[in-house]
Amino acid sequence: MNKSAFPKIEENKDNKTASTERGRAAVVFSLKNEVGGLVKALKLFQENHVNLVHIESRKSKRRNSEFEIFVDCDSNREQLHEIIQLLRKHVNVLEMDAPDN
């Protein structure tokens, strides 16, 4: 089950400006049980030129066998929207708070 708290970006002139401004966003995801899962997920941020400010892992409250990864990043809405789409292929649960810009 994938879950996203990322707001939908409407196509209009005002939002195009807001979507390119950088801001801080938080991403929380639970990895699938596979070798290299964390590397695959973090590489998506690198490939989309998103700066990771803080990375933290914790035992999942949903399942004892999983870990949740918390990532704070500097990005714009367009980059985060792209990362959401790509992360869904590699993670079990995904939550995101939009940039504070």
| Alpha helices by DSSP H, 22-76 | 37-47
CB 91 within 8 A of CB 20: no
Alpha-carbon span 2 to 72, nearest angstrom: 19
Q: Torsion angle of alpha carbons 56, 62, 65, 68, nearest 10°? A: -10
Q: Could you tell me if residue 81 is inside a domain?
A: yes
- Rounded (10°) CA dihedral 10, 12, 14, 17: 80
Domain that holds residue 32: 24-97
- Does any domain span residue 8? no
**CATH code, domain carrying 68:** 3.30.70.260
Report the number of distinct structural domains present in the chain: 1
Asked if residue 32 is part of any domain, the answer here is: yes
- Residue pLDDT tens, the chain, 101 long: 444 444 443 444 444 444 567 788 899 999 877 889 899 999 999 999 999 999 999 888 888 778 899 999 998 888 888 998 999 888 887 887 766 55
The pLDDT score that the predictor gives to residue 55 is 96
